[in-house]
Amino acid sequence: MVWQRYNGEKIRTPINDAVEDIIKKETYQGNKLKVYIGTDSQVKRGITEFATVIVFLREHKGGFMFIHRDKQARKQSIKERMLTEVQKSIEIAYKLCPLLEMYQVELEVHADINTNPHFQSNIALKEAMGYIMGMGFVFKAKPESFASTNCADKIVQ
């Protein structure tokens, strides 16, 4: 799984090592971090492009993110695509969870799913919320899910 920074620079170490290095560096500099994980997707010409982000926010000092992209040629319903986004976010959250707990870094998993029933993505809200919270993670949906709704969205546009 290839991760990169927003500027396109590839992360050459395993993602757990890269995240631990960031936590150590930011802690040493006196910064309190929070981590947000989210995924968004876009369908273009029958190909679904996914972008998963790990957003690091420094308390009162801005933030940055790591990005992973992948594509699928398989056709999916809107509900299936929304739940695939959630699955991708949970996979990363689950992988990083022991590390974040060890360093006492708060984690939220963000879903690009609208809480307003007038939007198509709302069809997956209950399942996504159950999936994320059932895994023990803090869940946020639109309009509070900036990691998926804003950060990952910028990558797949």
CATH number where 148 lies: 3.30.420
Distance from C-alpha of 118 to C-alpha of 109, rounded to nearest angstrom:
23
Report the number of distinct structural domains present in the chain.
Answer: 1
Range of the domain at 32: 3-156
List the structure tokens of 46.
């029958």
Q: What is the pLDDT of residue 72?
A: 93
Q: What is the pLDDT of residue 1?
A: 83
Task: Output the pTM of the full model.
Answer: 0.94
- Write the pLDDT tens digit of every residue in 110-134: 999 999 999 998 999 999 999 999 9
